[in-house]
Chain A
Amino acid sequence: QVQLVESGGGLVKPGGSLRLSCAASGFTFSDYDMSWIRQAPGKGLEWVSYISGSDSSINYADSVKGRFTISRDNAKNSLYLQMNSLRAEDTAVYYCAGSTVDSAFDIWGQGTMVTVSS
């Protein structure tokens, strides 16, 4: 079945780094643009970063630009988010989500929790 599974979350100190992964199955991964979306505890949804299916286009929210790097490996059906210089305000559940070109997110993972705290 169509599935996205995130991993790599955990507890990290301010200033530290973490790499999130998202494994895709059940669909043609390269046909999908992918994004990372986060949700701080008790708060709403915040889009973080986007990468096109062909890896030719990348975008970031201002809040993470210069600190986070999105990438994908279509041969491994995987999406990644390298998070550096982490701050307390980056604490959230991070979801990976997929969309066909210029469309809504129709596939979501279950989320992975990132906690930034000393």
Chain B
Amino acid sequence: AIQLTQSPSSLSASVGDRVTITCRASQGISSALAWYQQKPGKAPKLLIYDASNLESGVPSRFSGSGSGTDFTLTISSLQPEDFATYYCQQFNNFPLTFGGGTKVEIK
């Protein structure tokens, strides 16, 4: 199975900060990677698909990049509603796998 390693596992940041989360795959997955945001008690929400495509309705401060084994989710200017846990997920091979998550907290 393809393992996805997210870093950091948590971070503290202030409103307006630029935040970067990385996701490393144990083997190449081309661009078959998605990013999700999850708030407590809620279902995950798709932010980015195919590594760099912004899902409709998602603010443009979110962006994704990378291909192969190394991927990045960037929030250009953190907003109060962005404090949440973020997960990467690969859909290149079964079993589908998720990263361990990155919790973004208020500094």
B7 within 8 A of A: no
Q: Give every chain B residue within 8 A of A111 (Cβ-Cβ).
A: 43
Cβ-neighbour of B89 out of A45, A50, A102, A109 (below 8 A): A45
Q: Give every chain A residue within 8 A of B44 (Cβ-Cβ).
A: 45, 95, 105, 108
The interface size of chain A toward B, counting residues with CB under 8 Å, comes to: 20
Nearest Cβ on chain A to B24's Cβ, whole angstroms: 16
Report yes or no: A103 in contact with B95, Cβ–Cβ below 8 A: no
Report yes or no: B95 in contact with A61, Cβ–Cβ below 8 A: yes
The main secondary structure of chain A at its interface with chain B is: loop
Q: Which of A56-75 contact B (CB under 8 A)?
A: 59, 61-62
Cβ-neighbour of A103 out of B91, B94, B97, B98 (below 8 A): B91
Q: Give every chain A residue within 8 A of B98 (Cβ-Cβ).
A: 44-47
Report yes or no: A106 in contact with B95, Cβ–Cβ below 8 A: no
